[in-house]
Amino acid sequence: MVSRVIPVDQFDLVIFGATGDLSRRKILPALFRRMRSGQMPEGSRIIGAARSKMDTAGFRDLIRRSMAEFEPTASDTPELLETFLNALEYIAIDAMGDAGWKPLKKMMRKDRVQAFYLSVGPNLFGEIAHRLHTNGIATPHSRIVVEKPLGHDLASAKALNAQLSESFAEHQIYRIDHYLGKETVQNLMAIRFANALFEPLWNSQHIDHVQITVAESIGVAGRGGYYDQSGALRDMVQNHMMQLLCLTAMEPPAKFNADFVRDEKLKVIRALDPLEIQNTVRGQYRAGGDEASYVEHAENPDSTTESFVALKVNISNWRWAGTPFYLRTGKRLRARLSEIAVVFKDPPHSIFPEMANRKGNALIIRLQPDEGIRMRMTIKEPGPGGMRLTEVPLDMSFAEALGPDVEATDAYERLIMDVIRGDQTLFMRGDEVEEAWGWIDPIIAAWDADSSKPAPYDAGGSGPEDSLALLHRDGRRWREIDA
Ligand code: BG6
């Protein structure tokens, strides 16, 4: 099965911060791959905007070199790569001053889709939005794209939203959470709402608990400065894990459209019980093997920033009361693994004596690596000798099931094309971001007020002991972190 390419309209995409890491590593390679798939209409332009003084030829040269590093397969199709580079333009612009704005205005074509991707620090979001507006560059139809960090607490998130909304309406603002662009995250909605099988069971009557794990094997080397100001709660839970939680727990939207889906996600966040400190675990990795410890990476020997967090979350609504959601995420863990495990209750009555030892049914939705779904089932162990039970997985790797020709689309490819298409379903609305911070802030305040430090854990392990204890005390266990 080969993926279908859905055409988009011709566009002008301006990337602010075009010479920076995100642009060269993710955004431009994603656009190249969309061109290779035939989705980028001829005549569309990508306009790099940054502070550096250079011309279009210099920018094309820079991107030619960075494509060799970040998208090496581009050299297999040299003609296409040239076509792509020829679609690039450059304009030197001063985000905080007047230089470059008039030429940019002259360059933009009003009869094309116009999108402005702010691949810059959040301190510049408001400035750039304002100048796009006051210089008459943005139209009521143009779109603006921003990405995390979208604030570091509720007050700063509100301020950011207020700055953006001075110049752009909500329907023009695309807040990226790259987890929403992952294939399996969207599949979660398809699995839940396109099958009649699961939804009747998707509630506290039948589901014992849910485990959401985003484990990473990498540490924070190279970005310790940013990370030390952030920590796992701000870096992963407020955004990516919150989105996974919402999509797992939300009510079926009446329609698959941006506001209907986002309304349902918002209701989940509003139904979260305030977190109590005893339902939170913080960890920090220590040195292991050849790897330095967290504090060495962060270059801050006294750092109390968490590189691991585990939470027990209760959702107070009719569907979920009594069914906890356990969340954990961390750096330098045993493997890179992201999954949502929905663990079902035992049958109400057991006719098999062995049942007590079984783990029970679980639906495991694996985001990475090897995206797929797996159902843990209990069956009879084959052979004579009475009724012995065993557990087997009903396993479906999407790559195996759908065939090797299915093109693996990176989250940025999908999300950028959704911006051009004008579809906000996979983007966060301002109120969602604020509500999530509103839930996170008291946890941070409680940690700040608490004199204990994050619990140390071994690099290459499953996180601190306290995280195991969080489930043990409820008579439950985390799933293994295995790739
Ligand atoms: C980013 C975080 O948003 O997501 C990183 O800032 C993290 O710390 C990354 O490593 C994880 O993304 P992925 O797609 O590799 O799971």
User: Which residue minimizes the CA distance to atom 5 of ligand 1?
Assistant: 235
Q: In this structure, which amino acid lies at residue 39? A: Q
Residues 11, 41: contact at Cβ < 8 Å? yes
DSSP 3-state of 312: strand
Identify the weakest region by mean pLDDT among 42-56, 160-174, 378-392: 378-392
* Residue from 178, 209, 240, 297 carrying the catalytic annotation: 240
CA 216 to ligand 1 center in whole angstroms: 8
Nearest protein CA to atom 10 of ligand 1, as residue: 216
CA-230 nearest atom, ligand 1: 6
Residue from 266, 236, 241, 238 nearest 251 by CA: 266
* pLDDT mean over 376-397: 84
**Facing residues of 209 across strands?**
343
- C-alpha pair distances (Å), 132 with each of 1, 140, 207: 43, 11, 49
Three-state secondary structure call for residue 371: coil
Tell me which residue has tokens 């040239």: 82
Which pLDDT value is given to residue 405?
Answer: 53
Contact, 405 vs 148, CB < 8 A? no
- Output the CA torsion sign for 288, 289, 294, 295: positive
Calculate the CA dihedral of residues 94, 9, 140, 412 and round it to 10 degrees: -50
What value does the mean pLDDT take over residues 441-467? Answer: 94
In the structure, which protein residues have their CB atom closer than 6 angstroms to any atom of ligand 1? 216, 235
Q: May I ask the CATH class of domain 180-472?
A: alpha beta
Beta bridge partners of 213: 328, 339
In the prediction, which pLDDT does 5 show? 78
- Mean pLDDT across 373-394: 86
Residue-level pLDDT at 394: 84
The pLDDT of residue 387 is 83
Between the CA of 41 and the centroid of ligand 1 the distance, in Å, is 30
Å from CA of 222 to ligand 1 middle: 14
Q: Are 347 and 360 in contact (CB under 8 A)?
A: no
- pLDDT tens-place string over residues 150-189: 999 999 999 999 999 999 999 999 999 999 999 888 889 9
Bridge partner list, 14: 47, 116
Atom of ligand 1 nearest to the CA of 214: 16
Closest residue (by CA) to atom 14 of ligand 1?
179
Average pLDDT, the chain: 92
Nearest-CA residue for ligand 1 atom 4 is: 236
Which residue has a Cα nearest atom 15 of ligand 1?
216
pLDDT at residue 342 is higher than 80: yes
Whether the model pTM is above 0.75: yes
What would the mean pLDDT of 239-252 be, rounded to a whole number?
A: 97
- Res 406: pLDDT: 56
Task: Assign 3 a pLDDT band (cuts: 50, 70, 90).
Answer: low
Altogether, the residues listed in the chain come to a count of 483
- Compute, in angstroms, the gap from residue 7 CA to the centroid of ligand 1: 29
pLDDT of residue 404: 58
Residue 361 CA to ligand 1 center (angstroms) comes to 30
Distance, CA of 353 to CA of 351 (rounded, Å): 7
More confident residue, 306 or 354: 306
What mean pLDDT is predicted for residues 324-350? 95
Which residue puts its alpha carbon closest to atom 8 of ligand 1?
235
Read off the pLDDT of residues 69-89 as tens digits, 9 standing for 90 and up.
999 999 999 999 999 999 999
Decide if pLDDT at 483 tops 80: no
Q: What's the pLDDT at 351?
A: 86
CA-wise closest residue to 359 among 373, 344, 381 = 344
What is the token pair recorded at 467?
């995280």
Examine residue 369 and say whether the peptide bond preceding it is cis (omega within 30 degrees of 0): yes
Catalytic annotation on 240? yes
* Ligand 1, atom nearest to 338 Cα: 16
Res 297 pLDDT > 70:
yes
Up-side HSE of residue 396: CA atoms within 13 Å toward CB? 12
The structural domains of the chain, with segments of one domain joined by +, span 11-147, 180-472
E strands present in 369-462: 372-380, 389-397, 455-458
What is the mean pLDDT of the segment spanning 380-401? Answer: 81
**Does the pLDDT at position 1 exceed 50?**
no
CA distance 214 to 333: 10
Instruction: List the single range of 91-105, 131-145, 147-161, 368-382 with lowest mean pLDDT.
Output: 368-382
User: Of 103, 195, 179, which Cα lies nearest the Cα of 428?
Assistant: 179
Handedness of CA 24, 30, 35, 37 (dihedral sign): positive
Tokens of 85: 């580079």
What atom of ligand 1 comes closest to residue 239's alpha carbon? 3
The span from the CA of 115 to the CA of 10, in Å, is 11
Q: Which atom of ligand 1 is nearest to the CA of 179?
A: 14
Is 56 within 8 Å of 31 (Cβ atoms)?
no
219 CA to middle of ligand 1, Å? 11
CATH fold of 11-147 reads: Rossmann fold (3.40.50)
